[in-house]
Amino acid sequence: MTTLKPLSDLEIARNANMKPITEIAEKAQIPLDAIEQYGRYKAKIDTNQINLDPTGKIVLVTATSPTPAGEGKSTVTVGLADALKRLEQKVIVALREPSLGPVMGIKGGATGGGYAQVLPMDDINLHFTGDLHAITTANNALAALIDNHIHQGNELNIDPRRIIWKRVMDLNDRALRNVLVGLGGPTQGVPREDGFDITVASEIMAIFCLATSIEDLKLRLANVLIGYTYAKEPVFVRDLGVEGALTLLLKDAFKPNLVQTIEGTPAIIHGGPFANIAHGCNSIAATQTARKLAEIVVTEAGFGADLGAEKFMDIKSRQGGFGPDAVVIVATIRALKMHGGVAKNNLVEENVPALTVGIGNLEKHIETVRQFGVEPIVALNRFITDTEEEIQTVLHWAQKHQIRIARTNVWEEGGAGGIELANHVLEVLAQPQNFAPLYNLTDSIEQKINTIVQKVYGGKGVQFTDRARKQLEQIEKFGWDGLPICMAKTQYSLSDQPNLLGRPEGFTINVREIIPKLGAGFLVCLTGEIMTMPGLPKQPAALRMDVAEDGSAIGLF
């Protein structure tokens, strides 16, 4: 510890001694022919040139229900990988790409923190290798082609009131949630109601993350449901015949990106759906590439085990034909105190009674992971205001309930701060796990949702709005009910009410809309008030951003 002003994440990142990406690739045994450099420290990997079997074990990092500031899940993910590397393991970390929405909005960055970061953090947080832009463009090209088809005679008889394909932007832009397009008279398109989602919620992002090859990508794009005809028959991308063009727009983006952690561990960062409004995991292409190259792949899924981890295990694992071999649940004293009822401004003060109550949230996430047949390890991630009594409270609770727990301090110490956790992970990896998804695809939609609500959220059951009920019936009528469920739910609570903290019970989840994503291969259930396009706060992070005289970034963190 020092009394000097601590360095910011961006300053630590800038002081780091990055290795040329070719050197990282070489150490990861990626043939140099498979590497396409994007500057000195980023590269795309041509996966066709890596002819190995994906045999690496998967360590999935998830968390308790988070505070708005986050619990350092990405930081622990990176730090754990660095710790495993220090223990001489052949490890790769696989992460999602940041979205400019939260970067410009609240978060200012999403690449870990302190001495557990992926680099170059400014590039990764800004445009990186352009993948999100390619996805945005493919999404909006499809929207333009749909509206143009209608304007040019509407041969397919598409009902403009029943188009479910929305436009997207990789920004937080509340004013675009509900719009009217096609105004201005007969030469300016056909007027209709529309809306913009954030790019990470696009079905194309989900497809991009779940496709196992370029051919699979194209097939999934062809199968996207865009809306219905006036006769209420479904219309697909294949009816428009533009799956080839969309695949062309995505072909380079589909190659996973290679970067490095501060400690030189290879990191594959690819795809970035949010876990509250989408399925929340990096691409299968990235995970499988990492599994081909490394013996251990450390990967994260967004937010708590109720969101990203559930979807990792019920959606991504099913599609990819793998499962987690160990699951880490990141918890902080801060978040647990908040779940015990402490107000945001009082979190810096010691409060053991509140902490004891708040542990209930962690407990539920542990139970959830165990229901999938995998043994969880709690990472108690150090925060500067933690008191020793608070820490001991959590450790004793864990000991009493026979829960694996490790203290981590990777923000400050890098991989050295994750050794205890890494040793636990290695022990769990040495044991056989009994992973299985939580529900059967042949269950009814209502059964599947009820399973998630009861077993994962700890709630009573599900309630549908009339609209959602109608959509459910339509989905069953068309035979699309054999798909897994992608719940869109607030990350702050196990319920669909953001203020219901801790471990709530007896609540009902309200499904207000069910959207069939037939290319991605899941049914999105919008619950509570969850928005698929975030807004900016009163003081967006953008206000603090700038470029220094030497051309480097200011205000990312």
547: left (phi over 0), alpha (psi -120 to 50) or beta: beta
Query: Which region among 124-132, 278-286, 382-390, 419-427 touches its own copies (by CB under 8 A)?
Result: 124-132
Asked if 234 is part of the footprint of its own copies (rule: CB under 8 A), the reply reads: no
* C-alpha dihedral (332, 333, 336, 342), degrees to nearest 10: -130
Residue from 42, 57, 107, 255 carrying the catalytic annotation = 107
Min dist CB 549 to its own copies, Å, is 8
Total residues in contact with its own copies, by rule CB under 8 A: 75
Question: Which of 274, 327, 273, 272 is CA-nearest to residue 298?
Answer: 327
Q: For residue 428, give the 3-state DSSP assignment.
A: helix
Tell me the residue type at 500: L
Per the annotation, the verdict on 107 as an active-site residue is yes
196: left (phi over 0), alpha (psi -120 to 50) or beta: beta
Binding mask 30-69 for its own copies (x = CB under 8 A): ------xxxxx---x---x---------------------
Q: What would you measure as the largest C-alpha separation in the chain, in angstroms?
A: 72
Per the annotation, the verdict on 322 as an active-site residue is no
Binding mask 189-228 for its own copies (x = CB under 8 A): xx-x---------------------x---x----------
Phi/psi of residue 69, nearest 5 degrees: -80, -10
The answer to whether 73 and 279 are in contact (CB under 8 A) is: no
Closer Cβ to its own copies, 123 or 412, answer by number: 123
Q: Determine which residue in the list 252, 349, 427, 473 makes contact with its own copies, applying CB under 8 A.
A: 252
Residue 549 counted as an annotated binding residue:
no
Give the count of beta carbons closer than 10 Å to the beta carbon of residue 132. 26
Q: Determine which residue in the list 68, 241, 321, 353 makes contact with its own copies, applying CB under 8 A.
A: 241
Binding mask 131-150 for its own copies (x = CB under 8 A): --xx-xx--xx-xxx-xx--
Min dist CB 163 to its own copies, Å, is 11
Of 155-194, binders to its own copies (CB under 8 A) are 169-184, 188-190, 192
> What's the CA angle centered on 35, arms 29 and 38, to 5 degrees?
130
Min dist CB 66 to its own copies, Å, is 22
Of 485-544, binders to its own copies (CB under 8 A) are 535-538, 540, 542-544
Closer Cβ to its own copies, 130 or 482, answer by number: 130
Token pair listed for 456: 């994962």
Task: Spell out where 393-460 has E strands.
Answer: 404-408
What is the dihedral sign for C-alpha 122, 28, 79, 106? Answer: positive
Of 81-100, binders to its own copies (CB under 8 A) are 100
Min dist CB 369 to its own copies, Å, is 35
The answer to whether 501 and 341 are in contact (CB under 8 A) is: yes
What is the dihedral sign for C-alpha 175, 204, 139, 98? Answer: positive
Per the annotation, the verdict on 167 as an active-site residue is no
Closer Cβ to its own copies, 218 or 424, answer by number: 218
> What's the CA angle centered on 134, arms 246 and 484, to 5 degrees?
70
Q: Determine which residue in the list 29, 55, 68, 127 makes contact with its own copies, applying CB under 8 A.
A: 127
Token pair listed for 194: 């529309």
Per the annotation, the verdict on 85 as an active-site residue is no
The Cα–Cα gap between 133 and 121 comes to 18
Min dist CB 499 to its own copies, Å, is 16
Asked if 377 is part of the footprint of its own copies (rule: CB under 8 A), the reply reads: no
Binding-site annotation: residue ranges for ATP = 67-74
Catalytic residues: 73, 75, 96, 107, 275, 303, 383, 411
